[in-house]
Amino acid sequence: MSTEVLIGEVRRQLREGGLRGCVLVRDLHSGDEVGIDADTALPSASLVKVPLALATAERVRRGELDGAATLDVRPGRSTAPGPTGLTRFRHPARIAVDDLLYLSTCLSDERAADALFELTPPARVNAILREFGVRGISVRHTVDELSDTPVERFGTGQAHLAHALAIDAGTSGRGHRVPQLDTTRANTGSARAWVDLLAALWAPVAIPAATAESVRGLMLHNVLRQRLTPDFASDATTWWSKTGTLLNLRHEIGVVEHADGGAFAVAVLTESLVPAASQPGADALMGQAARTLRDHLRQL
């Protein structure tokens, strides 16, 4: 099947499954890539925790932060479905910077991420990204704002109303009545920008090797594995990843390395058109789309 026909088929499958998808898969050795709307910027949701981890790890390497230093962290006390770690804690905790990095990146713990943002604010994270030549990713706010969405304001059993608002309240220019979904105000990135960041971490040139290794190590231990992992994890592969979920947004970025030496960076960013919080079929469809494009690249 030609690349053009394959892209059309994957786009159709995503659309029929209720998803608008921005996808890019790149062979990290040859640079060959295939994708769908890869330059469209979408709100990053929890993907922003990867640039945060990069900036924090780099500041530890420079000696600006001490990874062993402990911080008193306020509990999140979240009662909404979904949040993990400190975000659900009921009482304050004292935790080291290195362990906050683990919680933020591997468990996608929002309270841990905000504790790190207090040390390295969004503007500083942006500056470090630019210093390393990473373009196309904008970090504008902390993740605390991600927990103040219509989902938290509607009553139990009304999540579908929040998702309906997320689907219907956007503009043609990607503005949105929900601030976290407005690309002029939210943390944003395109599939291409996320793949560029992954490529910079896997073959570090501007990024110091020790810093890149730290971030890769965190992504290796991501515990949220319901989305692309089933299509990329096996005894003959290793899968590094980070997910992002916010209202009708479902994202995942990652790198798959094969026992034969092949390595592919993957970014799948989606907007669901179905007003429902639980959509395991959408997760499966994302993995199917990414694997189809990866398989095509391997055959070229």
Render each residue's pLDDT in the chain as its tens digit; 300 residues. Answer: 799 999 999 999 999 999 999 999 999 999 999 999 999 999 999 999 999 999 999 999 999 999 999 999 998 877 666 678 898 899 999 999 999 999 999 999 999 999 999 999 999 999 999 999 999 999 999 988 666 655 555 555 555 555 565 565 555 555 666 777 888 889 999 999 999 999 999 999 999 999 999 999 999 999 999 999 999 999 999 999 999 998 889 999 999 999 999 999 999 999 988 887 788 999 999 999 999 999 999 988
- Nearby residues of 20 by Cβ (< 8 Å), 6 or more positions away: 14, 270, 271, 273
- pLDDT of res. 220: 98
Which pTM does this prediction carry? Answer: 0.91
Give residues with Cβ within 8 angstroms of 125, minimum separation 6.
51, 52, 54, 55, 117, 139
pLDDT score at 171: 52
- Tell me, what's the pLDDT at 184? 84
Q: What is the pLDDT of residue 158?
A: 56
Helix (H, G, I), strand (E, B) or coil at 173: coil
Q: What's residue 152's pLDDT?
A: 54
Angle at 116 between CA 247 and CA 65, to 5 degrees: 160
